[in-house]
Amino acid sequence: MPDAGVAAGLASGMASRDGAPLFCGDAIADPLTGMHAALAAWASWRAGGGHLLDLALRDVAADAAHGSAASDGVRVSRADGGWVVEGPGLRERVRAARARPPRGPARALGADTEAVLRSPDA
């Protein structure tokens, strides 16, 4: 997604180097965030599980590119049980995350493999 790369500062980083913003790294945020999520899930499991894991594509891409989250004049702050994102000409409210109760225990590992492999989409 180009928006994750742009929000991470990758396009403006190219502008500072080449004189013009350039969409780049749009395909890197997803796999990097997936790797971070896998490591976070493993760490949670080793610590007994039950943790809420929240990873942002933007922050992972920014960390990979800059070593910390890029801001480009954008601020995120808490407000009224949610968040507000503010930047040049921008003010957006973001509702707080809501936990969904589990529907029940997960099925055993591999319990659905045969049915999935038989499905026409497999």
Tens-digit pLDDT profile for residues 68-86: 444 567 677 778 877 777 7
Cα angle at 52 between 47 and 58, to 5 degrees? 115
Contacts of 9 (CB under 8 A, 6+ apart): 62, 65, 66, 70, 71, 72
Query: Do residues 44 and 101 touch, judged by C-beta distance below 8 A?
Result: no
CA–CA gap between residue 72 and residue 9 (Å, rounded): 7
Mean pLDDT, the chain, rounded, equals: 78
pTM beyond 0.85: no
Task: Find where tokens 């969904």 sit.
Answer: 100
Q: What is the mean pLDDT of residues 102-117?
A: 91
Residue 108: the pLDDT is 93
Please report the pLDDT score of residue 38 as a whole number: 92
* CA distance between the termini of the chain: 26
What does DSSP assign to residue 119? Answer: S
Note every long-range contact of 50-54, with CB atoms under 8 Å and residues 24 or more positions apart, other chains counting.
52/97, 52/99, 54/97
94 contacts: CB under 8 Å, gap ≥ 6:
82, 83, 84, 85
Residue 113 pLDDT > 90, yes or no? Answer: yes
The confidence score (pLDDT) of residue 18 equals 64
pLDDT tops 80 at residue 2 = no
